[in-house]
Amino acid sequence: MTIRIDGKRMAGDLTARIAAETEALATEHGITPGLAVVIVGEDPASQVYVRNKQKTAQNCGFKSIKHALPADVSQDTVLRLIGDLNADPSIHGILVQLPLPKQLDETLVTQAIDPAKDVDGFHYVNVGKLAAGHTADAFVPCTPAGCMLMIEQQLGNDLSGKSAIVIGRSNIVGKPMAALLLAANATVTIAHSRTADLPAITREADIVVAAVGRPNMVGKEWLKPGAVVIDVGINRIEVEEDGETRSRLTGDVDYEEAAEVAGAVTPVPGGVGPMTITMLMANTLRAARLASGLGD
C-alpha cells in the first residue's frame, strides 16, 4: 500500500518542536528570534502566503514584523529598508516576498539581504555554500529543505545506492534540491523541458521530485514501482463537478495514478506546502542561535 506523506502533520510536529526550543532560548538566554517579512503590492496569493508565515511565526513564539510597501515603491526605498533590517540586532531573519513588481530588480533586492539573515537561502553566499557542501553556517531554501525531510522520513539520511531525479532546474527548488540529494549520497539527475524521453528517465528513479508547474504531468507510467514521489507543484485548474465549473489545486503529479505505483507520495494540497513555511521558521530559529554564538 502506498504511503501518503502527510506534510501538514509533519509541519505541525516540527512547529511544536521549534516553539519549545524558542521558549527555551528565551528563558535561558533572553533571545527571541525575530522575522521580518517585506511585501510589495497587493498580490492576493502573496498576501495569503505572508499571513500564513506571520501566523506560524507567532505560533512559534517569534517576534514577527511585516513591512507592507506600495506597488510603485522605488528600488532605493526597498534597499534602504533592507539595510535597516540588516542592522537591527532584534531581527534574525529577513524575507522579501516574491514576485516583485517589474520596476524592482529581484536579484539586487535578494542579494542585499545579509547572508546571515537570508532565511530563504537565496543569497549567492548561501547558494555557494550549499553547492560546495559547506552548510554549517548556511541556509538552505525552505522548499527543498522540507522535501529532504520527507525523503529522509521514508528512506533514512543516507541515500547511497538510490537514484533520484529532480524535474525542474529553478534556483529556488530544482538546483538546491539536487545539491541536498547529492550530499546524502544519492545519484542525481536534473531534468527539464529539453530533456529527451523524460518518462523513461523518470522510471529509473527511486526518488522523484517534480517541480515544473505542469498540472498532473507525472502519471503512473512515469514511475518505478515503490518510488518515493515528492510533488512540489501547486497548480490551480478548472474542473467540472455536478455540472458546475470549480477551481481546485493540483500538483505536477497525478496523485491517484501515482498512488497505484509509488511506495510513498505527497498530496497537493497538504504535502510540501506546509513544510515550506515551517522550514522558514527552522531557519529563523537557527539564525538567531548562530547570531548569538550558540551554534545549531
Per-residue pLDDT of the chain (296 residues; tens, 9 = 90+): 899 999 999 999 999 999 999 999 999 999 999 999 999 998 888 888 899 999 999 999 999 999 999 999 999 999 999 999 999 999 999 999 999 999 999 999 999 999 999 999 999 999 999 999 888 888 999 999 999 999 999 999 999 999 999 999 999 999 999 999 999 999 999 998 889 999 999 999 999 999 998 999 999 999 999 999 999 998 887 777 677 777 788 999 999 999 999 999 999 999 999 999 999 999 999 999 999 887 76
162 is catalytic: no
Going by their DSSP bridges, the two strands 235-241 and 244-250 should be labelled as antiparallel
CB 160 within 8 A of CB 245: no
103 is catalytic: no
CATH topology match: 29-114 vs 142-273: yes
55 is catalytic: no
CB 155 within 8 A of CB 281: no
Backbone angles phi, psi at 187, to 5 degrees: -95, 120
C-alpha separations of 66 from 12, 88, 194 in Å = 23, 14, 40
The domain ranges of the chain are: 29-114, 142-273
Class for the domain spanning 29-114: alpha beta
Question: Topology of 142-273 in CATH?
Answer: Rossmann fold (3.40.50)
Q: Show the cell assigned to 170.
A: 529553478
With CA atoms as reference, report the closest residue to 180 among 132, 224, 218.
Answer: 132
Helix (H, G, I), strand (E, B) or coil at 246: strand
Catalytic residue chosen out of the listed positions 63, 102, 114, 120: 120
3-state DSSP helix/strand/coil % of the chain, to nearest 5:
45, 20, 40
